[in-house]
Structure 1
Amino acid sequence: MQSVRFIFWVVLGLLVVPLPLPAQTLHFAPLPMQDAETVVREKRPMLEYLARDAGLEFEIEYSTGYAEILDKFSAGEVDLAYLGPLPYVALREQYEAAEPLVLFREPTGEARYTCTVVMFADDRVPLAELHGKSVALTQPLSTCGYLATDHLLRGAGVHLAETEYRYLGRHDEVALAVARGDFRGGGLKTHIAARYEHLGLVRLSETEPLPAFALVANAETVPAELRQRLRDALLALDPQRRSEDAEQVRDWGESLSHGAVPVEDADYAPVRRMLRGSPVLDPGLPGLSPVPLPGRGVAP
């Protein structure tokens, strides 16, 4: 009888084949201002790469604003987010479990960038004389938008709130608007401003280097081992030196396809210094003081 029982359990053991565990699903939050089509085109190839490398599945969690991303982070509904330096600092201020994994290199190849204030060469005046004049900005929560432009103007003795500013959206739109003479000044990324120097744009002031966009993880929902696997998967790619890596990222968005570098929270010290000097930001970012509403600045 014992031998029969033994054979029974052996046969049963052969029949019971362990099933693979379901892949962990991570929820990824893209930039709030990007439409779904852009997100799928620019971000999904990277997510598919990470899914294959780390054995994951991803769901894209769309949000209407940074405040919603912060709420979802706190509620454990967002695991990863793609954030610029200013939104990250605001998120970290409210939620310490926000952990930057990597910085994505800019098109220049650097994982840092600077912001600048530009004018048209023929209309150039000292920054202090922008008081009451029209100033073009990108977006309220763009680091080179209200924060950096106000920081640079304060260095010349004038506050951005004392100008007639307007948000135009893209950095290129700011450059072109100033070159056309629609605005007396504008704030944008320095390397983008440089593309329009042939149209007569001149740079008057520039910030210190700031960290580029980052992939930020929720340390409360993404285990440390998995965070490291995601970090390693992105750092393993060197599209600037290896052709096979360049092919791997070929379909990734422009902001993701130049490689990545390590990052620590301490790298955001320059942004925090600007915040101490210019503590006025858009009301859509929790934990930070409100700026005059976008309608306050209207170019003549």
Structure 2
Amino acid sequence: MRRRDVLLAFFALPVLLAGCGGDEEAVRVDLSRREEPTLRLPPRAVTYAYLPQYAHTVSYERHRLLLDYLARATGLPLRQIFPDTFEEHVRMVERGEIDLSFSNPFAYIRMARSGARAFARIIEPSGKPDFRSQIICRRDNTQLRSLDDCRGKRWMAVDPSSAGGYIYALGEFLDHGIRRRDFAEITFAPGPGGKQEKVVLAVFAGTCDLGSVRDGALDILAGKIDLGQIRILAESKAYPGWVYAARAGLSPEITHKVAQAMFALSMQRPDDAVILQTAGMRGIIPATDTDYAPVRALAEKLDLDTATEAEE
């Protein structure tokens, strides 16, 4: 067997050598001339976050069409990110991890202390650029007929930094002479995201006597619970609506492009109407920091420290 292998190799050698033509010119390689390859990174995405008043899936579905539109209209790479809590959202804006923030007014005035600036605000589903807090209870709760009856009761609010879900309601109670110490307890919706829904569900289940949510929050649970069992006990005064803010240091060119694309949306165009209605708004209009002076005045009246999380 070994002799046969040697013979086969001997006869195959000329065939292999024939493949190496002697008339081919050698290619000189000049190793002194080298070009180092460079790593081409894609442009950093512009991050966009919706204050987590609802579950992340709701936040995504509500703003997915809007982000797709903004990316097409501006040519910017946009990416939606999902903070778990109101506090995390505020801190991420302060650290520069969220470029474009969509938040309630109280969260905004906190972020403004680190240089974030309002550039747009929404027309609410009501058709107005403001919104209210709704104080809710079970319809069959005969002990609650007016705000005065809330003394000594258990109140669940959305979050210490929630405007419609806590602070506007707190202001309404104070206007009626009811202070935080007058409640048996004040608790906040647990866990990340979905906090508005959790308040409504807690009231529905009877685990608290009353709750506070922003107007429009009840609609999120339509078809999931019997909303006929929920009664709106009172509403707060109206305050400026939700706001778009750019973090400190974000390129003014980016802010301008996004703002102009937002302002171009119109309920008069069917495609735009779908985008706006899905996002829970009827339009987007210009805003400035001074538009939120009433919210700062309310925070001062309630003795809330806007530099840190609101007192519980």
Q: 1:30 to 1:290 in 2, by over 3 A?
A: closer
Give, in angstroms, the shift of residue 199 of structure 1. Answer: 4.3
Give, in angstroms, the shift of residue 260 of structure 1. Answer: 1.3
Q: How many residues were matched structurally?
A: 260
Instruction: State the secondary structure of the residue aligned to 1:158.
Output: coil
Instruction: State the secondary structure of the residue aligned to 2:142.
Output: helix
Moved more, 191-200 or 62-71: 191-200
The separation in 1 between residues aligned to 2:211 and 2:60, in whole angstroms, is 31
The separation in 2 between residues aligned to 1:135 and 1:172, in whole angstroms, is 15
What letter matches 1:245 in structure 2? D
Moved more, 42-51 or 164-173: 164-173
* Aligned residue in 2 for 1:146: 166
1:165 aligns with 2:186: yes
TM-score with structure 1 length normalisation? 0.71
Instruction: State the secondary structure of the residue aligned to 1:89.
Output: helix
Identify the match of residue 95 of structure 1 among 104, 109, 114. Answer: 114
| Structure 1 runs not aligned, ≥5 long | 1-20, 293-300
What letter matches 1:106 in structure 2? E
Q: 1:33 to 1:193 in 2, by over 3 A?
A: closer
Q: 1:134 to 1:31 in 2, by over 3 A?
A: same
TM-score with structure 2 length normalisation? 0.69
Instruction: State the secondary structure of the residue aligned to 2:78.
Output: strand
Give, in angstroms, the shift of residue 143 of structure 1. Answer: 0.8
Structure 1 residues 85-234: aligned runs within 5 Å: 85-92=105-112, 94-96=113-115, 98-119=116-137, 120=139, 122-163=142-183, 164-168=185-189, 170-171=195-196, 174-175=199-200, 178=203, 183-191=208-216, 199=229, 201-204=231-234, 206-223=235-252, 225-234=253-262
Structure 1 residues 15-26: aligned runs within 5 Å: 25-26=45-46
**Identity score, percent:** 23
Q: Is the 8 A contact 1:146 1:160 kept in 2?
A: no
Bigger-Rg structure (1/2): 2
Q: 1:137 to 1:268 in 2, by over 3 A?
A: same
The separation in 2 between residues aligned to 1:41 and 1:202, in whole angstroms, is 27
Instruction: State the secondary structure of the residue aligned to 1:124.
Output: coil
* Aligned residue in 2 for 1:11: none
What letter matches 1:229 in structure 2? K
Deviations 1:274-293 (A, max 9, x none): 21111247xxxx7136523x
Instruction: State the secondary structure of the residue aligned to 1:145.
Output: helix
What letter matches 1:227 in structure 2? T
Q: Displaced runs of 4+ in structure 1, greater than 6 A? A: 193-197
* Aligned residue in 1 for 2:3: none
- Computed over aligned residues only, the root mean square deviation of the Cα atoms, in angstroms, reads 3.4
What letter matches 1:185 in structure 2? L
Identify the match of residue 301 of structure 2 among 272, 277, 282. Answer: 277
Deviations 1:149-175 (A, max 9, x none): 222212222212431233346545545
